[in-house]
């Protein structure tokens, strides 16, 4: 865990709970002056982030309630623009604009990205700004995959305040159809071959009759 992330999440009440539960000493080293901030996305983070086809994000409403939403798109639609910035094309959905409205009022955002097959995940805390598509067509072109059927309304650009590679414990293994295909392919090929052989055998038997 990086110091930048720890300073954001280990509030006074959290530290009190850690003391109560006996884990405070385990985490205090991340809050020392000597601990590196380490709030810049490196090659490992960039690769992980840009391989995802979806993530969960939370914003804060004016009522104080967190609002969690799944954002999906083609693999790699969330991009690392530089060591402190990630961004994605915001596609039109049901037009409730809850996350968008929340970010206009409070730009804080939390994200969690999960790689289910490899039991890995990363949490990101940042501040988001909304960029309308017409205001920065170059940015939109960089973020949007023209082969994807949906059209973006805007870009969400997030300045990373801190991130943490999360513990994989209790993370279930799940596979998408794309991820299942390499596993299924040999069985599908074998089935097709058996069907062909079966059809040829039937045809041969038919000739004998």
Domain ranges of the chain: 1-37, 39-173, 175-209
The answer to whether 67 and 98 are in contact (CB under 8 A) is yes
Q: Round to whole Å and give the CA distance between 141 and 132.
A: 12
Structure tokens at 53: 């086809």
The answer to whether 65 and 119 are in contact (CB under 8 A) is no
pLDDT reported for residue 156: 97
pLDDT reported for residue 87: 97
Q: Name the β-bridge partners of 130.
A: 156
pLDDT for 97-134, tens place per residue?
A: 999 999 999 999 999 999 988 889 999 999 999 999 88
Tell me which fold the domain 39-173 belongs to: Pnp Oxidase; Chain A (2.30.110)
pLDDT reported for residue 209: 62
Cβ neighbours of residue 187 closer than 8 Å, sequence gap 6 or more: none
pLDDT for 147-161, tens place per residue?
A: 888 888 899 999 999
What are the C-alpha distances in Å from 166 to residues 63, 74, 80, 121, 122? 29, 24, 19, 5, 5
Taking only the tens of pLDDT, the chain with its 209 residues reads 889 999 999 999 999 999 999 999 999 999 998 888 778 999 999 999 999 999 999 999 999 999 999 999 999 999 999 999 999 999 887 889 999 999 999 999 999 999 988 889 999 999 999 999 889 999 999 998 888 888 888 999 999 999 999 877 777 777 777 877 888 888 888 888 989 889 888 888 877 66
Q: Round to whole Å and give the CA distance between 68 and 80.
A: 22
Q: How many CA atoms lie within 13 A of 139 on its CB side?
A: 22
The maximal CA–CA distance of the chain, rounded, in angstroms, is 89
Q: How many CA atoms lie within 13 A of 92 on its CB side?
A: 8
pLDDT reported for residue 35: 85
Q: Round to whole Å and give the CA distance between 43 and 136.
A: 27
Q: Round to whole Å and give the CA distance between 167 and 152.
A: 33
């Amino acid at each position: 865990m990086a110091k930048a992330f720890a300073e954001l999440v280990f509030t006074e009440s959290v530290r009190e709970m850690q003391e109560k539960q006996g884990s405070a000493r385990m985490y205090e080293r991340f809050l020392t002056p000597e601990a590196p901030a380490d709030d810049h996305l490196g090659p490992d983070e960039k690769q992980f982030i840009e391989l995802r086809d979806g993530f969960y994000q939370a914003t804060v409403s004016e009522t104080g309630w967190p609002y969690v939403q799944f954002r999906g798109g083609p693999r790699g639609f969330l991009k690392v623009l530089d060591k402190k910035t990630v961004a994605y094309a915001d596609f039109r959905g049901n037009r409730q604009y809850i996350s968008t409205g929340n970010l206009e009022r409070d730009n804080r955002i939390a994200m969690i990205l999960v790689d289910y097959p490899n039991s890995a995940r990363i949490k990101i805390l940042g501040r988001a700004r909304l960029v309308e598509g017409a205001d920065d067509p170059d940015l939109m072109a960089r973020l949007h995959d023209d082969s994807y059927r949906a059209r973006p309304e805007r870009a969400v650009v997030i300045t990373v305040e801190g991130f943490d590679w999360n513990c994989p414990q209790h993370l279930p293994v799940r596979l998408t159809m794309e991820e299942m295909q390499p596993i299924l392919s040999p069985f599908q090929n074998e089935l097709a071959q058996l069907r062909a052989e079966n059809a040829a055998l039937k045809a041969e038997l038919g000739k004998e009759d």
